[in-house]
Chain A
Amino acid sequence: MDLVQMQKSLQDYTKSLFLEGILDSQFLQLQQLQDESNPDFVSQVVTLFFQDSDRILNDLSLSLDQQVVDFKKVDPHVHQLKGSSSSIGAQRVKNACVVFRSFCEQQNVEACHRCLQQVKQEYYLVKNRLETLFKLEQQIVASGGMIPAVELGF
């Protein structure tokens, strides 16, 4: 694939993430903050999100597996995940966390288990898609090209 094709693929791929609602405009904000003096800013922030989220999801699994679920421990974790997903523009993860929190408030253990699965699903989806995005960017840079700006046009 030549450079122009790679750049077009990246643009189309990035657009699809927005069209599917996986990312929202906050991700664009991150990209706009990246510059020559901080060329890896977006991947640094996203890496922090992945590290945070892996830990939180593990803690949530443990907390919800207890015989007596302590929602005072569960809710802050979900709140934190909601915050960090919102900060990077991981819209579907954020939305899944909003639903999760409402069931935490109701102390509905069964529903919380279902919510956790949904959050995990959305998280692994955005993680997978962002890792692919960064690989495409790296390929372009390795070929001597520039990362094109994405124009969403909607």
Chain B
Amino acid sequence: MATKSTGGTEKTKSTEVKKKLNVLIVDDDPLNRRLHEMIIKTIGGISQTAKNGEEAVILHRGGASFDLILMDKEMPERDGVSTTKKLREMKVTSMIVGVTSLADQEEERKAFMEAGLNHCLEKPLTKAKILPLINHLVGA
């Protein structure tokens, strides 16, 4: 049977659809966006980026959906806490992983988690940090 590729999905010979993980990277730092794009690519995912929380909200209002959202905490326009709360209010069920700095206080991290995160990871992100979460997502 011929295979057909449509966006991020492939139909294989079996009835199972192999889906590439679709990730939204929300970060105001272009360096971090590039780095996280590359990490996602090397673990076989596809990614889209947003420069701040407001862009992320607009994407979702436009009908976009993602398996995983990597959410930076400190951003202009709309920060990570506010964006996470907003996306959960919009009934977004994606796994949202907050990306924090070592300098962030425990209360700040707690507030970020309570906004609706599934997990929190500390910068800089690496494959080793993200992979267990991806495996959990794929396995779910």
Contact = CB atoms under 8 A, between A and B. Distances in A.
Contacts of A41: 38
A63 interface: no
Interface in A14-73: 26, 29-30, 32-33, 35, 38, 41, 44-45, 48-49, 52
Contacts, number: 53
A101 B101 CA distance: 13
Contact of B35 (A32, A35, A45, A98): A45
B124 interface: yes
B113 interface: no
Contacts of A80: 29
A43 B105 CA distance: 33
Contacts of A38: 38, 41
Interface of B: 29-32, 34-35, 38-39, 41-42, 74, 101, 103, 123-124, 126-127
Contacts of B101: 79, 82-83
